[in-house]
């Protein structure tokens, strides 16, 4: 297939990200109503509550002890190393890992973490067991803590075999968010520029704008490099979380305390996360993400399936060859499945999916699906089973957080292309739930270009198929696995700061 070069702009799509809406109120603080709240934060969303803003969740079989599984939740995004002494967890919040081991997206086991005071003198108490209540409103378990640890102290192991760490860590999330933003706002086209594109019959003026290739074979810039956050990591015996089988669903939540007249140690959910970037990619920004954060996985399929496009299958669904193999041919023809212009295909062109709901099944409910009897997915030790595991088996700290979803979406997300172009997907929309790209040569949504290359080029091209994130600091080889926090600027180990004089 020979395609017009401008079709590169319209070749594959993903959707739905918007600008951040400023928070504003139409009613000022009131005086008439008696307010007896104490020191808890008042903002209704996590935007104003960094201690409750989950940045990432990880779950994986402990690589050093296969009898244990590890769960990590990070909050306090963009913690600046120079102010490291100011970050801690909130004693007003309840942090929870929720584990479903029966497959109904309802928690059967919870690991609750509560902090006793603000500031870095705080101690974390870990509670574990079957929840008193399930859903968005929870109560602290009544039993005694199974482990405790001081902020920033070495991991501590309780009598039940649970090991816990709570403290500052490097942010292990790797994403060229700056370039992503530029693509969305139209000032750039791709993660990596393609100035001399030759595959098409018509060369867009100036080629496709993007970052250049450096000598080390990278293009991307990790927008999260150099920042710290606060992390809760627990390592628990498998026997504490598994059900009758090895599969568990895992997600993390943060909850705010309700008025004490409504219950002691009772909390209502304000934040949650399962798989990486689901809310960011598929849920419109602003209030809709608040709604998503307040909701529970049990209702995700009913409430959010409409946000996920159909998956391509082996069957042509619009008379233009709109199949997985058709998409692969388009991408290959455009030169986007080979370096330096794009990552190789993740899935073979013969990928035998026959289920148009595959993406929905992989992404919803928003939980991490972990086989506790299987080493977590990396290129060397795991497997990729979309649908069974969602995006990956659990989520190891070093695994490709962004590139993998980009590659899955560019190969599987159904897209409506301009009619009459002959591109697979340019046929009638019919009942297809496809992402819109009917405004040629650019899709209606600038975000469609984000997935085109299947990578953000942060790792060197030579390592592109290793599916490792390429964090700015080396990850630890033992619990809690996340890298140590960035030091004060100028201290040994500082990145991009002059040494201390």
Partner 1 sequence: MSDLGFGRILTCAGASALAAALVACGNGSTSVTLPLSTSALSGSYVFTATGTDATDGDYSVVGSFVADGKGNITSAVADYNLGSGVDDNVPLTGTYTISAGSISVTLTDGGSVKDTFTTAPVNASGTAGVSNFDGTGSGQLYTQAASGFSPAGTYSFSLNGEGDGTISGSGQFVAAASGAFSSGTLTLNDAQTSTTYPAVTGLLGPVASSGRGFANIEGNNLAYYVIGPKQIQLMGLDARYLLTIPAQKM
In the complex, which residues of this chain contact partner 1 (CB under 8 A)? 21-37, 40, 42, 44-45, 133, 135-137, 139, 257-264, 266, 268, 284, 286-288, 290-291, 294-295, 299, 302-304, 306
CB burial of 269-293 (b: ≥16 within 10 Å; e: otherwise) equals: bbbbbbbbbbbebbbbebebbbebb
Strand arrangement of the beta sheet that strand 56-61 belongs to: 56-61, 68-79, 228-237, 163-170, 156-157
Shortest Cβ 35–partner 1 spacing (Å):
6
Phi-psi region of 139 (alpha: psi -120 to 50; beta: other; left: phi over 0): beta
The minimum distance between CB 294 and partner 1, in angstroms, equals 6
Which of 122/255 has CB closer to partner 1? 255
Nearer to partner 1, 306 or 496 (CB): 306
Number of H helices, E strands in the chain: 7, 15
Q: CA-to-CA distance for 179 and 220, rounded, in angstroms?
A: 8
State the burial class of residue 156 (Cβ atoms within 10 Å of its Cβ: 0-12, 13-18, 19+): middle
Of 289 and 410, the one with the shorter C-beta distance to partner 1 is 289
Taking CA atoms, 26 is separated from 41, 239, 287, 291, 354, in Å, by: 19, 51, 15, 19, 49
* Complex with partner 1: residue 133 or 354, whichever CB lies closer: 133
Q: Give the DSSP per-residue string, 277-329.
A: THHHHHSPSTHHHHHHHHS-GGGHHHHHGGGSPPBP-SS-SSSS--SHHHHHH
Q: Shortest distance, CB of residue 483 to partner 1, whole angstroms?
A: 36
Spatial distance between the Cα atoms of 491 and 501, rounded to a whole number of angstroms: 10
Our CB check for partner 1 shows the closer of 22 and 154 to be 22
Tokens at 256, concatenated:
């705010």
Q: Minimum distance between the CB of residue 140 and partner 1, rounded to whole angstroms? A: 12
Residue 43 C-alpha from the chain's centroid: 23
Interstrand relation of 435-436 and 415-416 (parallel, antiparallel or unpaired): parallel
Find the shortest distance in angstroms from Cβ 360 to partner 1: 15
CB of 101 vs partner 1, minimal distance in Å:
22
Closest CA to 391 of 356, 410, 363: 363
Nearer to partner 1, 295 or 370 (CB): 295
User: Which residues are registered as beta bridge partners of 77?
Assistant: none
Closer Cβ to partner 1, 139 or 438, answer by number:
139
Q: Compute the least distance from the CB of residue 445 to partner 1, in Å.
A: 15
Q: Which is nearer to partner 1, 287 or 495 (CB)?
A: 287
User: Helix/strand/coil (H, E, C) string of 290-302?
Assistant: HHHHHCCHHHHHH
Minimum gap (Å) between residue 34 Cβ and partner 1: 3
Query: Between 2 and 261, whose beta carbon lies closer to partner 1?
Result: 261
Bond before 187 cis per omega within 30 degrees? no
Nearest distance in Å: CB 220, partner 1: 32
């Amino acid at each position: 297939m020979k395609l017009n070069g401008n079709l590169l702009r319209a070749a594959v799509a993903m959707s739905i990200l918007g600008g951040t809406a400023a928070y504003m109120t139409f009613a000022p603080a009131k005086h008439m109503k008696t307010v007896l709240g104490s020191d808890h934060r008042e903002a209704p969303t996590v935007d104003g509550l960094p201690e409750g803003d989950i940045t990432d969740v990880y779950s994986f079989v402990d690589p050093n002890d296969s009898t244990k599984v590890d769960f990590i939740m990070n909050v306090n995004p963009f913690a600046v190393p120079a102010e490291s002494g100011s970050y801690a967890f909130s004693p007003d919040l309840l942090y929870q890992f929720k584990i479903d081991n029966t497959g109904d997206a309802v928690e059967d086991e919870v690991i609750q973490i509560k902090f006793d005071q603000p500031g870095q003198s705080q101690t974390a108490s870990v509670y574990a067991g079957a929840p008193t209540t399930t859903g968005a409103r929870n109560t602290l378990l009544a039993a005694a803590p199974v482990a405790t640890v001081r902020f920033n102290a070495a991991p501590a192991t309780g009598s039940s075999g649970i090991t816990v760490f709570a403290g500052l860590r490097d942010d292990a999330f790797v994403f060229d968010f700056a370039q992503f933003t530029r693509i969305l706002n139209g000032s750039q086209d791709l993660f990596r520029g393609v100035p001399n594109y030759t595959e098409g019959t018509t060369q867009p003026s100036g080629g496709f704008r993007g970052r250049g290739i450096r000598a080390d074979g990278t293009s991307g810039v990790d927008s999260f490099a150099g920042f710290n956050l606060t992390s809760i990591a627990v390592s628990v015996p498998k026997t504490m979380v598994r059900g009758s089988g090895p599969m568990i669903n895992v997600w993390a939540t943060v909850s705010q305390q309700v008025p004490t007249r409504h219950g002691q140690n009772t909390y209502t959910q304000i934040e949650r996360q399962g798989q990486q970037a689901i809310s960011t990619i598929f849920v419109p920004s602003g209030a809709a993400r608040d709604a998503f954060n307040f909701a529970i996985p049990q209702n995700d399929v009913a409430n959010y399936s409409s946000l996920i496009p159909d998956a391509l299958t082996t069957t042509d669904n619009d008379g233009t060859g709109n199949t997985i193999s058709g998409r692969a041919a388009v991408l290959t023809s455009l030169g986007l499945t080979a370096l330096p212009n794009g990552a190789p295909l993740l899935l073979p062109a013969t990928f035998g999916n026959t289920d148009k709901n595959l993406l929905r099944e992989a992404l919803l409910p928003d939980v991490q699906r972990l086989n506790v009897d299987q080493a977590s997915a990396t290129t060397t030790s795991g497997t990729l089973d979309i649908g069974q595991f969602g995006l990956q088996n659990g989520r190891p700290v070093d695994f490709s957080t962004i590139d993998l979803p980009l590659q899955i979406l560019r190969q599987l997300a159904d897209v409506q292309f301009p009619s009459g172009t002959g591109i697979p997907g340019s046929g009638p929309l019919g009942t297809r739930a496809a992402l819109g790209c009917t405004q040629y040569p650019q899709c209606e949504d600038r975000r469609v270009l984000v997935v085109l290359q299947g990578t953000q080029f942060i790792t060197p091209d030579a390592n592109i198929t290793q599916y490792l994130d390429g964090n700015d600091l080396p990850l630890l080889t033992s619990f809690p696995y996340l890298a140590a926090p960035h030091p004060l600027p100028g201290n040994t180990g500082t990145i991009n700061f002059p040494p201390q004089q």
